Amino acid sequence: MNKQRYGSVWDAIEDTAELAENFKLRSALMIALERHIHQHELNQEQAAKLLGVTQPRISDLLRGKINLFSLDMLVNMVVAAGMHIEMHISEAA
């Protein structure tokens, strides 16, 4: 059996490079939001108010339900949290 190596789990499980990149970005934003919530010791209700979403949306975020969040929504939530996003784009390997 031939073993393949992937740059990330998303590269391994997604059908296209576009989908893999989208999920990589969404997961990075979700992780940053989760860390922010925990570092500031916010409960779900406080986090929802800060981020401009409902408490069930925070529950979805903390449970890692990535398919329920668009890049746009996550960017808006990051900005509402008072964080800044920087991007680095490079040629594909």
CATH of domain 16-80: 1.10.260.40
pLDDT at 28 over 70: yes
Helix, strand, coil % in the chain, rounded to nearest 5: 60, 0, 40
Q: Is the pLDDT of residue 17 over 90?
A: no
Question: pTM of the entire structure?
Answer: 0.84
Task: Provide the pLDDT for residue 67.
Answer: 93
Give the model's pLDDT for residue 1. Answer: 61
- For the chain, the average pLDDT equals 89
77 exposed, middle or buried (CB, 10 Å; 0-12, 13-18, 19+)? buried
Mean pLDDT of all residues in 20-45: 95
The region, left, alpha or beta by phi > 0 then psi within -120 to 50, assigned to residue 64 is: left
- Alpha-carbon distance 64 to 34, whole Å? 9
Q: How far apart are CA 54 and CA 22, in angstroms?
A: 24
Report whether pLDDT(11) > 60.
no
**Domain spans of the chain, in order of start:** 16-80
| Alpha-carbon span 68 to 38, nearest angstrom | 21
pLDDT at 13 over 70: no
